[in-house]
A = this chain, B = another copy of it.
Amino acid sequence: MPEPVSALPAALQREMAALLGDGWRTDPGERLTYGFDNSRREALPDAVALPRDADCVQALVKACRRHGVPLVARGRGTNTTGAAVPVAGGVVVSFERMDRILGIRAGDRCAVVEPGVLNGDLQSALAPHGLFWPPDPTSAGYSTVGGNLACNAGGPRAVKYGASRDNVLALTAVTGTGDLIRCGSATTKGATGYDLQRLLVGSEGTLALIVEATLRLAPAPAARRAIRALYRDVASAARAVARLMAQPVTPSMLEFMDHHAVRLARDVGGADLPGDAGALLMIEADGDGATLAHDVEALMEAARGDGLVSLDAAGDEAARARLWAARKALSPALRTLAPGKINEDVVVPVSRIPELVDGVQALAARSRLPIVCFGHAGNGNLHVNLMYDPADDAQRAHATSAMAEVFALAISLGGTLSGEHGIGLAKRDFIPRAIDAPTLALMRAIKAQFDPDGILNPGKLLPP
């Protein structure tokens, strides 16, 4: 039998092994697989816990609190900010065994789930009821609802349906004291006490561990159609975005690519795009089959304007897939620019997109690094990709300082650090630029009420 090499107190280890059985893991190899996330950061936890229910989570937190051991909640580690990396060691709490859908109530437009259910599995279970849960991060197939809630995950559909925070009714969670709290109710309206459930959403496991969620569902649209609009330049496309958001038909997706992204998708990705396109919008409408044509026409009308180069609506799903090909070709093509990428998801008011893209391009010129912008234009949520060679010290330094300038630019335009990825470790030190001192002090004070000993995901979100 291999000796445990974990640094945890033996008493805690014995207690947890008794509580969790094979859901308590201390083997170094296994711990390693729970120590990283999609930020490419990693750290070795002292143990991994796989609780089966809320009682287990409470017992686990109380025991860790007694021993002063940190806890890091984990869905499937898809987040991009290091929020799931156990930088202070301690116990990673993986919710993979709490993955049940406890109820789907179509007439109430809600579902009750455990945190470990995969977003994609939930969508599959909802489909026969004609319902869906709006958050659709790229990782939907393999990220958990609990992780989506912890990070306030969004995705393209957020422009019409909102992000995770907009689609939660109630949460049950275990605080850093091991108390079970029940926040909100399974109703679409509520004015009873303080709204703690939306406070927990986006708190990245620093306030409490979510053990059950009552989710707000939306009726699944019967049909959807995509439109591809190409513009002479970014400014023309950005003006079109503002027109699209000022008219009554809200698109179900409104995605943007700057001229670098368009060129990459064409030259490297092989997408069918004309040479004079300086910016691209992918616009999608969803709704009833009988009214969709009208909605598509309204969106096309709003897309028309100075600088429009071409406008195509997909006639069917195959044509829709062809239109989306340019967007899908982009991520692999990016890698041809440089081996390293810093992908930041700053957000600005929609009307400030041109200034953001202009500022980023001026910065690219100054720092001599390629910067490619694309993302969820309808929310002003752009993914700014700084491409660099991590093996080149000068480039790495330029990339790091350029990233800081991108944040400063977004904030100066009335925006903020993150639209949907969150803060984690990656943006933690920039929080004081986005949040002023009294507000940040209040956030720390609130954190101390949920987690007086600071054992929940220490080092994340709030700067030290």
Contact = CB atoms under 8 A, between A and B. Distances in A.
A166 interface: yes
B248 A415 contact: no
Contact of A415 (B110, B185, B379, B380): B185
A242 interface: yes
Contacts of A198: 165, 195, 198-199
Interface in A434-459: 434-436, 438-443, 445-447, 449-450
Nearest to A155: B189
B130 A246 contact: yes
A8 to B, nearest CB: 27
Given A193-B423, A449-B445, A349 B246 contact: no
Given A243-B107, A351-B108, A190 B416 contact: yes
Copies held by the complex: 2
A236 interface: no
A443 B415 CA distance: 30
A222 interface: yes
Contacts of A105: 349, 351
Categorize the interface residue count of chain A.
Answer: 35 or more
Given A298-B288, A438-B181, A442-B196, A418 B107 contact: no
A192 B201 CA distance: 11
A163 interface: yes
A436 B173 CA distance: 13
Q: Which of A151, A194, A248 has the most CB of B within 10 A?
A: A194
A431 B190 CA distance: 13
Given A247-B130, A446-B446, A446-B449, A438 B180 contact: yes
Given A105-B351, A248-B221, A443-B196, A422 B191 contact: yes
A175 interface: yes
7 contacts: A107-B241, A107-B246, A187-B348, A194-B199, A198-B199, A220-B248, A222-B248
